[in-house]
Amino acid sequence: MIKAEAKKLGFQDCGIAPAGFLEKNAVHLTGWLNNNMHAGMSYMKGHFDKRTDPAKLVPGARSVISVILNYYQPEVKNDNKIPQISKYAYGRDYHKGVKGKLKKLLEIISECEKTVTGRFFVDSAPVLERAWAARSGLGWIGKNSNLINRKYGSFIFIGELIIDLDLEYDNPAKDYCGNCTKCIDACPTNAIVADRVIDANRCISYHTIENRGEIDNSLKGKMGNWVFGCDICQNICPWNEEVETTIEPDFKPQKEMLEMTGNDWNKLDEKRYNKLFSGTAVKRAGFSGLKRNIAFLEE
């Protein structure tokens, strides 16, 4: 019933895993943090226990329900001569839309099980989304550290419901990356330092979104024309070659954003920035951050 209702709400797929301590992920996260690969994302050090144990977020947690929502749309700019932003940022900020659907799913579950307690999460709390999605059979963690689904590739948003109810559980998905290293080879800044290990200090997405300071000069000339996020390791992935276009209206690109020229980007002022990007993920970088990114490409 839960999976059927999730699909009715618009999610492409739903998987369920037993809640429990993520021992292997805890070891991986510890090593990643100790090697300072989180760069300036100091918040990644906080709430370690909550990231690795869902019972710290929902007392008595028994099940983690994961969902995926396809956001791929082929209309976006792919012109290396003008500034580019990640595909996910062209539409409405995904946090609101995915949360709304998860809230409804929790309400549906509550109607059947009156005493159930749970919380929903969408990339805004200390939850290891990809780990739980992989555990529930929705895909595997690719060599670029993204969740990859056999049907929908990696252009997908992930959400979770953690509830205190025992359910039937799915098996983890098989890894289908094989010997392919296209994502590793394609990264212009060598941010994929090992199989499934990303060094944020070298990552274009980190520097154009999360970095609040100056961009490291060592990346000069290596960032292509990316000014918000980066899709290089996803664009090159064979599993993204024939993915379906999203049918979610919120993720359809605005015409004005698609028609922006290089001159439009260079002359972007705060008023136009607010008009174009209000309600989108681009607001995460802030006007000053976006202008910094554009200027960095021009220097």
Task: Say yes or no to pLDDT of 32 above 80.
Answer: yes
pLDDT class of 187 with cuts at 50, 70, 90: very high
Cα distance between residue 136 and residue 210, in whole Å: 29
Residue 175 domain flag = no
Same domain, 189 and 284: yes
Residue 176 domain flag = no
Half-sphere exposure (Cβ direction) of 77: Cα atoms closer than 13 Å: 25
Same domain, 269 and 225: yes
pTM here is 0.94
Task: Say yes or no to pLDDT of 26 above 80.
Answer: yes
Same domain, 144 and 191: no
Residue 169 domain flag = no
Same domain, 136 and 277: no
- Check residues 138 and 77 and name the one with the higher pLDDT: 138
Residue 177 domain flag = no
The catalytic site residues sit at 123
Indicate the residue among 109, 132, 163 that finishes a domain.
163
CB atoms inside a 10 Å sphere around CB 103:
13
Same domain, 142 and 216: no
Same domain, 7 and 152: yes
- What tokens were used for 205? 């997405």
Cα distance between residue 70 and residue 243, in whole Å: 9
Residue 102 domain flag = yes
How many domains does the chain divide into? 2
Indicate the residue among 133, 163, 193 that finishes a domain.
163
Residue 151 to residues 11, 45, 114, 124, 156, Cα–Cα distance (Å): 13, 34, 35, 26, 11
Cα distance between residue 161 and residue 3, in whole Å: 12
Same domain, 253 and 156: no
Cα distance between residue 61 and residue 53, in whole Å: 9
Mean pLDDT of 176-205: 96
Question: What is the domain extent for residue 215?
Answer: 182-298
Same domain, 128 and 193: no
Same domain, 97 and 193: no
How confident is the model at residue 79, as a pLDDT? 67
How confident is the model at residue 77, as a pLDDT? 62
Residue 51 domain flag = yes
Same domain, 187 and 47: no
Same domain, 13 and 126: yes
How confident is the model at residue 255, as a pLDDT? 86
Q: What are the phi and psi torsion angles at 117 (to 5°)?
A: -120, 135
How confident is the model at residue 299, as a pLDDT? 67
Residue 81 domain flag = no
Same domain, 223 and 149: no
Tens digits of per-residue pLDDT, 118-159?
A: 999 998 789 999 999 999 999 999 999 999 999 999 999 999
Residue 109 to residues 75, 113, 117, 126, 291, Cα–Cα distance (Å): 37, 6, 10, 23, 45
Indicate the residue among 129, 163, 197 that finishes a domain.
163
Task: Say yes or no to pLDDT of 3 above 90.
Answer: yes
Residue 218 to residues 63, 80, 189, 214, 296, Cα–Cα distance (Å): 45, 20, 9, 11, 12
25 contacts 150 by C-beta, under 8 angstroms: no
